[in-house]
Amino acid sequence: MSELTFIHRFEPAAGLNRPPLLLLHGTGGDENDLISLGRMVSPGSALLSPRGKVLENGMPRFFRRLAEGVFDEEDVRLRANELADFVTEARKAYGLEAPVALGFSNGANIAAAMLMLRPEALAGAALLRAMVPLRDAPKADLTGKRVLMVSGLKDPIVQAENSARLAASLSSAGADVQHEALPTGHGLSQTDLQLMLKWFAGSGG
């Protein structure tokens, strides 16, 4: 479905007391990538899954990067605001509350940027393999927002120090951050799934 400003998929809620999820894929993914994961970790939630608008060698992403781990921060700001505007549009179109972002890799990074730049757009976030998206982020008020961060200690892309810095930054802005570091790489594991199931079960479901 593509009549809003992002190509996206939408699945209406099938259960009560579950927050809507904003599903944000990694590099090379699309609007279908995280649908089954969203259904699994928060059964019955409405699912809103946009496709990133930036292409890197033909692969969709949510913002430009200059090299692996080096972001075009001007583009990060532009794209985070653009995505937050889409969330506002979609909430009106589909009658949704503010969603909880579930993002992997590039999707987790744009979700973290949204928390910093447009905190009103999200009720919270589950950030899988996220890193600091902005070196000089504005001071956001994230009081009352729950954030799950799951990092891989053997992740070749995201350094442990970087993910710890992001967790500290979100905590200092008032978010209720649960940061888990697993003995794994950049890919997701069964432990990621178990952590998300437990975390989402505590968010009103």
In the chain, beta strands by DSSP E: 8-11, 21-24, 47-50, 54-56, 59-61, 65-67, 70-71, 100-104, 124-128, 146-152, 176-182
Q: How far apart are CA 151 and CA 158, in angstroms?
A: 8
φ, ψ dihedrals at 81, nearest 5°:
-70, -40
**Backbone torsion region of residue 106, taken as left when φ is above 0, otherwise alpha when ψ lies between -120 and 50, otherwise beta:** alpha
Q: How far apart are CA 32 and CA 7, in angstroms?
A: 11
Q: How far apart are CA 71 and CA 62, in angstroms?
A: 11
**Backbone torsion region of residue 89, taken as left when φ is above 0, otherwise alpha when ψ lies between -120 and 50, otherwise beta:** alpha
- Residues carrying an active site annotation: 105, 155, 186
Alpha carbons within 13 angstroms on the beta-carbon side of residue 164 total 6
Smallest CA-to-CA distance from 119 within 94, 90, 139 is with: 139
